[in-house]
Structure 1
Amino acid sequence: MEGERAYTDSEIEVQLSELAGWSFRHGAIERTYAFRDYHDTIAFVNALAWMVHSEDHHPDLQVGYNRCAVRWNTHSVGGVSENDFVCAAKSDAVFARALG
């Protein structure tokens, strides 16, 4: 996004206080979602894929049998940006819908 910039550590801390389950590590914000089984995990990954495609912003994913770790950062700004927090909140919404 034009005009986007990397957040400072203190700005990241403030934003993280609004997102339960998210943490800042190694230059990205991340959360691991837990599921009952592999089918539910992959259903979440597929739903997340639709969301990230519409946002044109793509996280790093680490997928396991009953979990999926999602990591957001913005390579073009060299850190975490506002868009990462927007997409993190949208990831949480996808997860909430996946739980039904």
Structure 2
Amino acid sequence: MNPSLVQQRCRPVSGAPLADADAAALLAQVPGWQRVRTPAGQSAIERHYAFADFHRSMGFANAVAYLCNREDHHPDLALSYGGCTVRFNTHSVGGLSVNDFICAALVDALLPA
């Protein structure tokens, strides 16, 4: 049995991005995330988190930065007064890799269910 995404850690990846079917199966394991396209046209996953104020949004963004730096897999963050949008894709493969879904699960685990 494969460990859940939150139990895994990111590893260096290269080669081709995940096949659509593999990406869809992993996306099903991170509810609330959706597939999007980056400005460069690459496939990515993204989720918006809403907060009551800027202080909470900033605290969340800092926690995401710490966690993703530990994993050496860095997202694009869009921070606002009442929220933070997190987007992952893997530049080394030009699209999605398992690392994107691992980090999405780890980010979700920062907040209560």
Q: Which residue of the partner structure matches residue 91 of structure 1? A: 107
Equivalent-residue separation in structure 1 for 2:26 and 2:81 (angstroms): 30
For the residue of structure 2 that corresponds to 1:45, the secondary structure is helix
Report whether the alignment pairs 1:22 with 2:33.
yes
Between 3-12 and 62-71, report the one with greater CA deviation: 3-12
Q: Please show how residues 1-100 of structure 1 align to structure 2 within 5 Å.
A: 1-2=12-13, 5-26=16-37, 27-96=43-112
Q: Give how far 1:18 is off.
A: 1.1
What TM-score do the two structures reach when normalised by structure 2? 0.80
Shift of 1:93: 1.0
How many aligned positions are there? 97
TM-score scaled by length of structure 1: 0.89
- Aligned-residue CA RMSD in angstroms? 1.5
Q: What residue identity is the alignment partner of 1:61? A: L
- Output the CA distance in 2 between the equivalents of 1:17 and 1:2: 22
After TM superposition, the runs of 4+ consecutive aligned structure 1 residues lying more than 3 A away are 2-5
In structure 2, what residue type is equivalent to 1:6? P
Structure 2: 5+ residue runs without aligned partners? 1-11, 38-42
Identity %: 45
The 1:2–1:23 alpha-carbon spacing in structure 2 relative to 1, beyond 3 Å, is closer
